[in-house]
């Protein structure tokens, strides 16, 4: 089985592409593929949450700056 690098969004994306290609060429069994895809989906949800938290923080900073300028 191939190594799955999930350190960053880009590395996870590349690993997913590699897994899909392996599945298409029957190098990986269906159940193993499903299990890994489930795990990758969970990881994607984490990446999405992390991005949303960072965006919310930036939005809070912008809103605070606007409030300071208007008062």
Distance CA(40)–CA(13), nearest Å, equals 9
Tens digits of residue pLDDT in 21-70: 999 999 999 999 999 999 989 988 998 999 999 999 999 999 999 999 98
The full set of domain ranges for the chain reads 9-70
Indicate whether this model's pTM tops 0.75: no
> From the DSSP assignment, how many helices (H) and strands (E) are in the chain?
2, 0
């Amino acid at each position: 089985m191939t190594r799955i690098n999930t350190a960053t969004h880009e590395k996870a994306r590349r690993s997913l592409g590699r897994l899909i290609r392996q599945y298409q060429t029957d190098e990986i069994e269906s159940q193993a593929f499903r299990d890994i895809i489930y795990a990758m989906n969970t990881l994607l949800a984490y990446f999405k949450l992390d991005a949303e938290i960072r965006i919310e923080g930036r939005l809070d900073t912008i809103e605070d700056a606007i409030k300071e300028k208007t008062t």
